[in-house]
Structure 1
Amino acid sequence: MVGIGYTMMTEQAGPRQLVADVVRAEEVGFDFSVASDHYFPWLDEQGHASYVWSVLGAAAQATERIPLMTYVTCPTVRYHPAVVAQKAATVQLLSEGRFRLGLGSGENLNEHVVGGGWPPADVRQEMLDEAVGIIRALFGGGYVNHRGRHFQVESARLWDLPEQAPPIGIAVSGEQSCRLAGEHADLVIAVEPDRSLLDAFDRHGGAGKPRVGQLPVCYDPDREAAVTRAHEQFRWFGGGWKVNSELPGPASFAAASRFVTPQDVASAMPCGDDAAEFVDAVRAYAEAGFTEVALIQVGGASQQPFLDWAGKELLPALRAL
């Protein structure tokens, strides 16, 4: 059976609502949750970008069962990997072992804010590889010193370590990232039901490890309203990772998606309240080999109605997968 997750999308809701929503997601029966780590929203219409690590700490205290996960954190530019290790260890302690650390090579959208420039993709992968090694070393306990190509670590140690280190997931979009994930990750992360990514992950050592996908959806009893909202807030999504990782701000995403129509968005994600359409979209991930799929309900104000509907109709329908 495919695990069904709920996404705390920090770009479309404030921190208090994010916590309230994940509490409700736990109540209605979602299997796990993930949270985005953004400094900017993708589009101005989304309107939010709170500090996810504070949200995760609050969510860890407000919930009892539901696993938590970053989807994903970039441990290379805006954050130093030694600091990411400390954040993750702390959330693992607060959640009593319910946290997984999802990592990725990042987007210019969020990382440009520290003024360090935006490296090319191959350099970003090198940085992520080195960062994962530092995080693993700190999770292992004791003092860590590191003199690397991209990072320096001077006598760092995590003084509050959980008994079990957070499992590390790595987001993939091509052969290079699949190799990195297969060699170094406990699970793989992707945002499209592309079987070739999972096959590459397996070739590099990922066979048998969990694989987590993510799917945007837009529930609304009024399908036209759902399509309108999905287009307003999520029309950027179809640009593809090679484009989305490079654009520097919401204005760039608005310009890049100016010719995307509501019909284009509606054809790319389930919209409305037909549970069968949502199930078909998840089935594509299941058939590609994903073991877990996190749903993103588009629209901050629509979360609680979506969660109520999911508990009554969608999750029971998805259990058949």
Structure 2
Amino acid sequence: MLRLGYKASSEQFGPNELIDFGVLAEGHGFDSVWLSDHFQPWMHDGGHAPAALPWLGALGARTSRVIIGTSVLTPTFRYHPAVIAQAFATLAVMYPDRVVLGVGTGEALNEVTLGLEWPEPPERFQRMKEAITLMRELWAGERVTFDGTYYSVKDATVYDRPANGVPIYIGASGPAATRLAGRIADGYITTSGKAASLYEETLLPALADGLEKAGRDAADVDTLMEVKVSYHPDRETALEKTRFWAPLALSPEEKRDVHDPIEMQRLAAELPIERVASRFIVSTDPDEHVEQIGRYVDMGFRHLVFHDPGFDQPEFLDLYARDILPRLRERYGHL
């Protein structure tokens, strides 16, 4: 089944606006609403960074149908995994079958400012893996004692929790974490706008390898693509909308160790608009737009979450509900 979701831009809007957008998305027929958990935004001027946990609770109270979740949260530095296990268990009890915990290995922008040591990728990967193990044990056990390499609990109980735990999706842009998603996760999250070869030759084969190693079927893992789109009848408007999100066009090497939004903003300001827009599907024609989005469906992604970079989100939701969602469902609804 193809699912179509909305990415609420926590780096661009305050919490109250974002709640309104999430409610609008449900009303417009989107299937899910997602929020990234950032301590700091990509841009200092005009940036926002509302906390994801209270926001998800508020959105759940204002909606009745959409899946809500993080894309992504890092349960390994700012938070103890047991605290995240408790928080998401509470959300899942409040909003049954609607809550997803999307996790990732983290970014310097969110952690270094708090005085936390920023380790190399292999350690961040191992921390995420151990955190997932601990959270699942807390959701499954009555009294949990866990003594890991990085985290431990003693005689711990999450008292209010759903019977089957909380679905965990792993966000990844490299093969190791993608392979782990295939082995142990309920879903896999990645982002659009990169070379097709990365998805077709590296990431999706790694996902398949993880599934095979664990003896799992492809249907066991929800494949979520966060699709960056800028759709508008006026091409200049569609192009210029991407400007606020220029940091996304920086290479991993350019931004990996940057922890200050002011510096991130300075680096992004140096980029030409063509490079800024390169991560987005920029289009004025709905059929062309759907055709470009369809590449990800053809690759095997079955949950598309749309991130629009503009400041007029109600206009985006109106246009998408009118022009894009019906076309996608007509074309791919049989999947």
Aligned pairs for 1:63-74 (under 5 A) are: 63-74=63-74
Counterpart contact for 2:283–2:289, Cα < 8 Å: no
- Residues 170-221 of structure 1, C-alpha deviation per residue, up to 9 Å, x if partnerless? 1122222123222221111111361231221111126332111101222444
Q: Distance in 2 between matches of 1:102 and 1:73?
A: 6
Deviates more, 1:254-263 or 1:125-134: 254-263
Q: Does 1:250 align with 2:239?
A: no
Deviates more, 1:260-269 or 1:284-293: 260-269
Counterpart contact for 1:77–1:114, Cα < 8 Å: no
Uncovered stretches (5+) of structure 1, i.e. residues with no partner: none
Q: Distance in 1 between matches of 2:253 and 2:85?
A: 27
Q: Distance in 1 between matches of 2:283 and 2:107?
A: 30
Uncovered stretches (5+) of structure 2, i.e. residues with no partner: none
Find 2:208's aligned residue among 184, 202, 208. 202
Q: Distance in 2 between matches of 1:176 and 1:17?
A: 36
Deviates more, 1:101-110 or 1:256-265: 256-265
Deviates more, 1:97-106 or 1:187-196: 187-196
Shift in Å, 1:223: 2.6
Amino acid at match of 2:41: P
Percent of aligned positions with the same letter in both sequences?
34
Q: Distance in 2 between matches of 1:240 and 1:184?
A: 29
Shift in Å, 1:244: 4.1
| C-alpha spacing 1:113/1:160, structure 2 compared with 1 (3 Å) | farther
Shift in Å, 1:259: 3.5
Q: Distance in 1 between matches of 2:232 and 2:39?
A: 28
Shift in Å, 1:136: 0.6
In the alignment of these two chains, the number of paired residues is 319
Shift in Å, 1:243: 4.6
Q: Who is 2:62 aligned against?
A: 62
Q: Distance in 2 between matches of 1:73 and 1:92?
A: 16
Aligned pairs for 1:4-43 (under 5 A) are: 4-43=4-43
Q: Does 1:239 align with 2:245?
A: no
- Residues 31-57 of structure 1, C-alpha deviation per residue, up to 9 Å, x if partnerless? 212111111111124421101111100
Q: Distance in 1 between matches of 2:181 and 2:46?
A: 31
Aligned pairs for 1:211-230 (under 5 A) are: 211-230=223-242
Shift in Å, 1:249: 2.1
| C-alpha spacing 1:189/1:241, structure 2 compared with 1 (3 Å) | farther
In angstroms, what is the RMSD of aligned CA positions?
A: 1.8
- Residues 46-70 of structure 1, C-alpha deviation per residue, up to 9 Å, x if partnerless? 4211011111001111001111111
Find 2:312's aligned residue among 282, 302, 305. 302
Q: Distance in 2 between matches of 1:100 and 1:216?
A: 21
Any runs of at least 4 consecutive aligned residues in structure 1 with deviations exceeding 6 A, and if so which? none
| C-alpha spacing 1:240/1:285, structure 2 compared with 1 (3 Å) | farther
| C-alpha spacing 1:70/1:28, structure 2 compared with 1 (3 Å) | same
Q: Distance in 2 between matches of 1:156 and 1:242?
A: 40
Counterpart contact for 1:170–1:181, Cα < 8 Å: yes
| C-alpha spacing 1:257/1:188, structure 2 compared with 1 (3 Å) | same
Deviates more, 1:198-207 or 1:284-293: 198-207
Q: Does 1:133 align with 2:139?
A: no
Shift in Å, 1:120: 0.6
| C-alpha spacing 1:31/1:242, structure 2 compared with 1 (3 Å) | farther
Deviates more, 1:274-283 or 1:64-73: 274-283
Q: Distance in 2 between matches of 1:156 and 1:213?
A: 35
Amino acid at match of 1:199: P
TM-score by length of 1: 0.93
